[in-house]
Amino acid sequence: MSATMDVLEKIFNSPAQVKLMRLFLYNPNAAFDSGTIQAKTQLGSRVVSRELRRLSAAEFLREKLVTKPSPIRRSRSAKKVKGWFLNPRFLYLEQFKNLLMSCQDFERAAIAKKFARAGRVKLLMISGIFLRSEFSRVDIFLVGDHLRQAVITQAFKAIESNLGKELRYAVFETKDFLYRLSIYDKFVRDILDYPHEKLIDKFGLR
């Protein structure tokens, strides 16, 4: 475990608390019931209940009733259940945004590691949500050969559970990427022209 991760865990009690805080920081206008929070963070009900109590006691979160649709198909019935949302008046909100919405060095390494078995990765870039860039076309861009879709899908799901937010991403085989690059494909050029950071670059792109 890196020194940075160790410090963060001491400050925030547990990785689970970091997950929940990020979920609400990345979705400041949304309210979630406990079931939705469990699904988005991939945490157990007891852990979620404990962390919700802590964050509510700290006034990081506020409670409100939210509408939960019926699980029965074609049913129009819905019920009100307890939900939580980010307290916009939380005293240290900006400080937590700066800390938890930035991609730390150990997280960059963790992202690269998740794709280590995805195939022969030639290019792996982060942008968008990781660099707090609103205009980026994607959050992760992956290029390689003999790519394993199951591994890639699992990697994205794991990263999304840590952030509590769906990622925008693009995956290309090397041949397709080089062709698009050669014809100045707008989508590829936009990705490369907007702020980004290369975690792996075997092309030596400028």
pLDDT in tens, 90-119: 988 998 998 888 877 778 999 999 999 999
- Same fold yes or no, 3-100 and 105-201: no
Domain covering 105-201: architecture: 2-Layer Sandwich (3.30)
Class of domain 3-100: mainly alpha
* Residue (of 138, 168, 147) closest to 156 by Cα position: 168
- Give pLDDT, residue 116: 93
Distance CA 129, CA 143 (A): 19
Does residue 5 surpass a pLDDT of 80? no
The string of pLDDT tens digits covering residues 27-86 is 999 999 999 999 999 999 999 999 999 999 989 999 998 887 666 655 566 788 999 999
User: Contact, 130 vs 199, CB < 8 A?
Assistant: no
Q: Phi/psi of residue 59, each to 5°?
A: 65, 20
Residue 202 half-sphere exposure toward CB, CA atoms < 13 A: 11
Tokens 């865990």 belong to residue: 9
Does residue 190 surpass a pLDDT of 70? yes
Does residue 12 surpass a pLDDT of 70? no
Does residue 9 surpass a pLDDT of 60? no
- Give pLDDT, residue 155: 96
pTM score, whole prediction: 0.79
Residue 136 corresponds to which amino acid?
S
- Give pLDDT, residue 162: 86
Question: CA distances (Å), 116 to each of 46, 55, 151, 159, in order?
Answer: 32, 35, 9, 14
* Residue (of 66, 105, 57) closest to 84 by Cα position: 66
Domain ranges across the chain: 3-100, 105-201
User: Contact, 76 vs 103, CB < 8 A?
Assistant: no
Distance CA 42, CA 75 (A): 27
The string of pLDDT tens digits covering residues 108-166 is 999 999 999 999 999 999 999 999 888 899 999 999 999 999 999 999 999 998 888 89
Distance CA 164, CA 38 (A): 10
- Give pLDDT, residue 105: 79
Buried b (16+ CB within 10 A) or exposed e, 42-66: ebeeebbebbbebbeeeebbbeeeb
- Give pLDDT, residue 1: 47
